[in-house]
């Protein structure tokens, strides 16, 4: 009977009917996907298109008449005038939005004393020129004496093309920054990885004392803005530095300073990754190596290093990316050493050349994207290694080795603590180096640039908002993508968008936000200049790592929870709130503290976006340093540090409490 029905049944595709849950989940994915499109894809698109905006003087838009001897001559367009005098080539007529071209420069034998009269008019209403500082954009004839005429300037018109890039690469003072940035990033990467590897090795492979303490100290640099070590370096090695004599003829302002500071702030990032890599290596390999009678050195090169290779590669690219995209440190201590991130700032803030800023941003995107892509590939392999079953290595006691490792770790810890201590000390000195008495005048932020104490409270507010809103958005988004069904394309797109922020340097994101959100055509432009845009930008900037943390936690959940819940006719949000969130709470707390700390310390993306109502501590620090108020900048930096330490401590106790309350099931 089955065979019969088989033949007669027409093959009709089943269209699954989405239940209420599926609709809600799709709506969520759509909303969060849309969030990423609006806060990431579209600003980047706006920035990219800005980099192709070029400006040039369109001489054919102007007509001139000359009266040398009482009679007005024929009407000549200015392009013809230029052709006649052969003054400017096509390339020389390219400029940026605020370029101005003197019209008399194209007149041969021009003298402002001559009695000649001139008339000038715009051929189109869109053309415009300046008479003195007066803007003329009608199409009437305007008459000038020769003395007046020398004060007439033409304004450029906008067009689209690759000229900005051509200009960038033909200007050595600009594209040299590429090599500078790469140089700094590569040297820092080598140093940081070496130091961090040795440190992690000491933690993982020795039986030295105070391991826990060392680990905590090594993490401290994460809690301060990247420019803080720069300030410490000024006090240590600047011209009035306490250790100036160590510098010899070298100046701390420049590559040395940037590298030293970069090593400081990238150290913990590298250490976390390498430590994970070292902690998963298999003890059995060491036993085998021992049994084969291999020497310690041989074991190190044949077992230890290869085992940690993915961690090392991954850490290298993370450090590289952090350094090449960092803005605060080179700004503070870079001196005349130009790097890409600072170039963006200089182009935009200094010269108001937004187009060139966009060009440099695109240039900076290339190595950042590249480093990011490699890191992702390697990370995947590392994960595969992690999930393989292995026996964890237990270090054995070895007096000399332990002592050596202890000394090394102690030196590193001392350097980190010392850097922070210097900043705190400098913040308390009245007037370095002439009045070394202690005072709190440097904490009187309200009489200084950067927004005063208000900026510190703004930062706390921002960090709290980012932690709460960001965690909710990221975790919900990750859940929907991980646990929803169907919409394969949409989910892949979402994944891509969620991974993208990590590859986007903060400066680039911030600039993209100006272009996008400040456009008057953008219905969202009312958020420009508010706390909302800072929150959105920061959440987006730090989306990727949070998203990955959430995904990892969610992947550890049984895939069938959703099926069971659905079969029991319970809505997915019940499962989400009663099971998923409680089980993932440790990860959720990790995400929120990550977002909090980064919102406190970030400078790069927000430097373009803050407003007087939303000044921030980290940016205040930069601005105070910029104005020469270095001690108050150090004071503010330490305030950020203490705030983050407090947040971490609260996080620690909160985690513990929540753990004991909601994770009771973990203990058998």
Partner 1 sequence: MITKITKLARISGAIGVAAFSAALMLSASPAAYAGELTVYTAVEAEDLKKYAAKFNEDHPDITIKWVRDSTGIVTAKLLAEKDNPQADVIWGLAATSLLLMKSEGMLEGYAPKGVELLDSKFVDSSSPPSWVGMDAWVASVCYNTVEAGKAGLSPPKSWKDLLDPMYKGHLIMPNPNSSGTGFLDVSSWLQMFGEEGGWTYMDGLHENIARYTHSGSKPCKLAAAGEIPIGISFAFRGAKSKAKGAPLEIIVPSEGVGWDMEATAIVAGTDNAADAKTLVDWSITKKANEMYNAGYAVVAYPGVAKPVKFFPENLLEKMIDNDFEYAANNRKRILAEWQKRYDGKSDPK
Partner 2 sequence: MGARESTPSQSAAPFLRVENLTKMFGTFTALKDISLDVYEGEFVCFLGPSGCGKTTFLRAIAGLDIQTAGVIRQAGKDISPLPPAERDFGIVFQSYALFPNLTVLRNVAYGLENAGKSKSDIKQRVDELLELVGLPDQGNKYPAQLSGGQQQRIALARALATSPGLLLLDEPLSALDAKVRTRLRHEIKALQAKLGITTIMVTHDQEEALTMADRIVVMDHGTIEQVGSPLEIYTEPATLFVADFIGEMNQLKAVSVGKNKLRIGDIEFSCQPRISSGQNGVATIRPEDVVAFEKSRKTSQNVIEVTIREMEFLGSFWRTILTSKKLSDQSITADFSINAVRRLSIEKDRRIRIELPTQALRFYDSQD
**Residue 489 engages partner 2 in binding (rule: CB under 8 A):** no
- In the complex with partner 2, which residue's Cβ is closer, 521 or 667? 667
Taking the C-alpha atoms of residue 99 and residue 349, their distance in angstroms, rounded to an integer, is 16
* CB 559, min distance to partner 1, A: 31
12 binds partner 2 (CB under 8 A): yes
| Calpha distance 551→7 (Å, rounded) | 46
- The site string for partner 2 over 639-668 (x = CB under 8 A, - otherwise) reads -----------------------xxxxxxx
Q: SS3 sequence, 228-250?
A: HHHHHHHHHHCCCCCCHHHHCCC
Q: In this chain, which of 245, 434, 489, 665 binds partner 1, going by CB under 8 A?
A: 434
21 binds partner 2 (CB under 8 A): yes
CA distance 494 to 502: 14
Residue from the set 45, 72, 165, 453 that interacts with partner 1 by CB under 8 A: 45
Q: Give CA–CA dist 281/468, Å, rounded.
A: 36
Of residues 495 and 662, the one with the C-beta less far from partner 2? 662
Q: Which does 330 bind (CB under 5 to 8 A by kind): partner 2, partner 1, none?
A: none
# residues contacting partner 1 (CB under 8 A): 85
Say which entry of partner 2, partner 1, none residue 662 contacts (CB below 5 to 8 A, set by partner kind).
Answer: partner 2
Judge if the upstream peptide bond of residue 433 is cis by omega within 30 degrees of 0: yes
Nearer to partner 2, 297 or 667 (CB): 667
Distances (CA, A) of 351 to 344, 348, 372: 10, 6, 31
| Inter-residue long-range contacts of 440-448, CB under 8 Å, 24+ positions, other chains counted | 442/629, 442/631, 442/632, 442/634, 442/635, 443/632, 443/635, 444/632, 445/620, 445/624, 445/632, 445/635, 445/636, 448/620, 448/624, 448/627, 448/629, 448/632
Q: How far, in Å, CA of 406 to CA of 72, rounded?
A: 91
Among 18, 24, 35, 472, binds partner 1 (CB under 8 A): 35
Q: For residues 597-636, which are near partner 1 according to CB under 8 A?
A: 611-613, 623, 626-630
Place of tokens 């090795």: 201
Closest to 589 measured CA to CA, from 497, 536, 540, 662: 662
Structure token digits, residue 610: 């803050």
Eight-class DSSP state of 103: G
In the three-class reduction of DSSP (H, G, I as helix; E, B as strand; rest coil), residue 55 is classed as strand
41 binds, among partner 1, partner 2, none (CB under 5 to 8 A by kind): partner 1
Sign of the C-alpha dihedral, residues 443, 213, 222, 329?
positive
Q: Which does 628 bind (CB under 5 to 8 A by kind): partner 2, partner 1, none?
A: partner 1
Cα angle for residues 481, 648, 621 (degrees, 5° grid) = 100
Selected from 95, 281, 382, 618, the binder of partner 1 by CB under 8 A is 95
Choose the one of partner 2, partner 1, none that binds residue 449, judging by a C-beta under 5 to 8 angstroms depending on kind. partner 1
Planar angle of CA 592, 598, 603, nearest 5 degrees = 150
Among the candidate windows 111-119, 378-386, 479-487, 526-534, which touches partner 1 by CB under 8 A? 526-534
Closest separation between CB of residue 587 and partner 2, Å? 14
Q: Which residue has the tokens 């905590």?
A: 216
For position 6 contacting partner 2 by CB under 8 A, the verdict is yes
Contacts of 359 (CB under 8 A, 6+ apart): 51, 164, 165, 168
Q: Is 173 in the site for partner 1 (CB under 8 A)?
A: yes
The least distance separating partner 2 from the CB of residue 4, rounded to whole angstroms, comes to 10
Which among partner 2, partner 1, none contacts residue 17 (Cβ within 5 to 8 A by kind)?
Answer: partner 2
The piece of 19-27, 197-205, 588-596, 617-625 that touches partner 2 (CB under 8 A) is: 19-27
What are the DSSP calls for 433-496, one per residue? TTEEEE-SGGG-GGGSTT-HHHHHHHHHHHHHHIIIIIHHHHHHHHHHHHH--S-HHHHHHHHH
Strand partners, 153: 102, 130
Q: Which is nearer to partner 2, 176 or 662 (CB)?
A: 662
Query: Could you say which residues in the range 542-601 bind partner 1, by CB under 8 A?
Result: none
Report CA torsion sign: 479, 480, 486, 487: negative
Give least dist CB 504 to partner 1, A.
17
Residues of this chain, 203-262, that bind partner 1 according to CB under 8 A: 234, 238-240, 251, 253, 255
Residue 387 binds partner 2, judged by CB under 8 A: no
Tell me: does residue 293 bind partner 1 (CB under 8 A).
Answer: no
- Of these, 165, 183, 561, 573, which contacts partner 1 (CB under 8 A)? 183
654-657-660-662 Cα dihedral, nearest 10 degrees: -70
Q: Which is nearer to partner 2, 207 or 491 (CB)?
A: 491
CB of 566 to partner 2, least distance (A): 4
Count Cβ atoms within 10 A of the Cβ of residue 438 and give its class: 0-12 exposed, 13-18 middle, 19 or more buried. Answer: exposed
Binding to partner 1 by residue 435, rule CB under 8 A? Answer: yes
- By CB under 8 A, name the one of 17, 113, 389, 399 that touches partner 2: 17
Query: Is residue 523 near partner 1 by the rule CB under 8 A?
Result: yes
**Closer CB to partner 1, residue 181 or residue 276?**
181
Give CA–CA dist 460/666, Å, rounded: 34
With H, G, I as helix, E, B as strand and everything else as coil, classify residue 338: coil
Site string for partner 2, 560-579 (x = CB under 8 A): xx-xxxxxxxxx--x---xx
Residue 2 engages partner 2 in binding (rule: CB under 8 A) = yes
Query: Applying CB under 8 A, does 132 fall inside the site for partner 1?
Result: yes
Cα separation of 610 and 560, whole Å? 46
User: Which residues from 402-431 bind partner 1, rule CB under 8 A?
Assistant: 431
Q: What is the CA radius of gyration of the chain?
A: 31
Binding-site string for partner 2 from residue 534 to residue 563, where x marks contact by CB under 8 A and - marks none:
------------------------x-xx-x
Binders in 578-637 for partner 2, by CB under 8 A: 578-579, 582-583
133 scored as a contact of partner 1 (CB under 8 A):
yes
Please tell me whether residue 525 binds partner 1 under the rule CB under 8 A: yes
Q: How far is CA 15 from CA 12, 426, 557, in A?
A: 9, 70, 29
**Residue from 78, 224, 273, 348 that binds partner 1 (CB under 8 A)?**
348
Choose among partner 1, partner 2, none what residue 151 binds, the Cβ cut-off being 5 to 8 Å by kind.
partner 1
The least distance separating partner 1 from the CB of residue 34, rounded to whole angstroms, comes to 5
Q: Does 374 bind partner 2 (CB under 8 A)?
A: no
Binding site for partner 2 (CB under 8 A): 1-3, 5-6, 9, 11-22, 558, 560-561, 563-571, 574, 578-579, 582-583, 662-668
């Amino acid at each position: 009977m089955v065979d019969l029905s088989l033949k007669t049944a027409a093959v009709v595709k089943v269209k699954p009917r989405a239940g209420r849950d599926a609709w809600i989940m799709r709506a969520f994915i759509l909303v969060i996907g849309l969030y990423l499109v609006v806060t990431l894809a579209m600003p980047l698109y706006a920035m990219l298109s800005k980099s192709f905006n070029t400006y040039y003087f369109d001489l054919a838009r102007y007509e001139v008449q000359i009266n040398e001897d009482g009679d007005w001559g024929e009407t000549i367009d200015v392009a013809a005038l230029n052709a006649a005098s052969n003054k400017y080539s096509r390339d020389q007529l390219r400029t940026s939005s605020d370029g101005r071209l003197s019209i008399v420069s194209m007149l041969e034998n021009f003298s402002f004393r001559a009695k000649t009269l001139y008339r000038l008019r715009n051929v189109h209403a869109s053309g415009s020129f300046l008479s003195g500082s007066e803007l003329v954009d009608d199409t009437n004839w305007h008459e000038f004496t020769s003395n007046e005429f020398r004060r007439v300037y033409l304004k450029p018109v906008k067009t689209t093309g690759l000229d900005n890039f051509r200009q960038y690469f033909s200007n050595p003072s600009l594209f040299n920054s590429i090599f500078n940035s790469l140089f700094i990033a590569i040297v820092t990467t080598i140093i940081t990885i070496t130091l961090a590897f040795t440190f992690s090795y000491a933690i993982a492979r020795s039986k030295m004392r105070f391991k826990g303490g060392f680990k905590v100290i090594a993490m401290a640099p994460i809690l301060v803005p990247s420019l803080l070590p720069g300030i410490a370096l000024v006090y240590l090695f600047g011209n009035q530095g306490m250790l100036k004599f160590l510098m010899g003829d070298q100046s701390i302002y420049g590559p040395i300073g940037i590298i030293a500071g970069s090593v400081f702030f990238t150290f913990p990032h590298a250490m976390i990754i390498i430590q994970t890599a070292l902690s998963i290596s298999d003890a059995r390999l060491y036993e085998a190596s021992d049994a084969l009678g291999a020497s310690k050195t041989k074991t190190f090169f044949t077992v230890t290093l290869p085992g940690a290779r993915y961690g090392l590669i991954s850490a290298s690219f993370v450090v590289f990316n952090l350094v090449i995209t960092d803005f605060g440190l080179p700004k503070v201590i870079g001196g005349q050493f130009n790097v890409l991130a600072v170039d963006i700032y200089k182009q935009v803030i200094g010269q108001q050349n937004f187009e060139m800023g966009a060009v440099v941003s695109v240039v900076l995107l290339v190595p950042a994207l590249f480093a990011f892509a490699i890191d992702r590939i390697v990370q995947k392999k590392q994960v595969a290694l992690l999930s393989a079953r292995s026996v964890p290595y237990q270090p054995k006691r070895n007096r000399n080795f332990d002592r050596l490792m202890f000394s090394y770790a102690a030196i590193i810890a001392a350097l980190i603590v010392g850097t922070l201590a210097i900043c705190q000390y400098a913040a308390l000195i009245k007037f370095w180096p002439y009045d070394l008495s202690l005072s709190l005048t440097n904490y009187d932020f309200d009489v200084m640039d950067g927004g005063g104490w208000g900026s510190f409270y703004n930062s706390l507010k921002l960090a709290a908002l980012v932690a709460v809103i960001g965690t909710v958005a990221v975790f919900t988004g990750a859940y929907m993508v991980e646990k929803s069904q169907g919409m394969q394309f949409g989910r892949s797109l979402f994944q891509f968008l969620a991974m993208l922020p990590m590859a986007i340097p903060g400066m680039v994101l911030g600039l993209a936000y100006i272009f996008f959100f400040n456009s008057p055509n953008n219905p969202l432009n009312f958020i420009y200049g508010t706390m909302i845009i800072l929150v959105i930008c920061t959440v987006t900037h730090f989306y990727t790592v949070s998203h990955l943390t959430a995904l990892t936690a969610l992947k550890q959940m049984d895939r069938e929870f959703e099926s069971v819940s659905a079969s029991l006719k319970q809505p997915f949000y019940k499962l989400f709130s009663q099971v998923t969130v409680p089980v993932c709470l440790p990860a959720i707390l990790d995400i929120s503290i990550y977002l909090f700390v980064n919102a406190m310390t970030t400078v790069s993306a927000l430097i373009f976006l803050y407003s007087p109502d939303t000044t921030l501590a980290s940016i205040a620090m930069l601005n105070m340093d910029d104005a020469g108020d270095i001690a108050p900048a150090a004071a503010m930096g330490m305030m950020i540090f203490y705030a983050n330490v407090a947040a971490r401590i609260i996080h620690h106790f909160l985690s513990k409490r929540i753990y004991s309350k909601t994770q009771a099931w973990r203990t058998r």
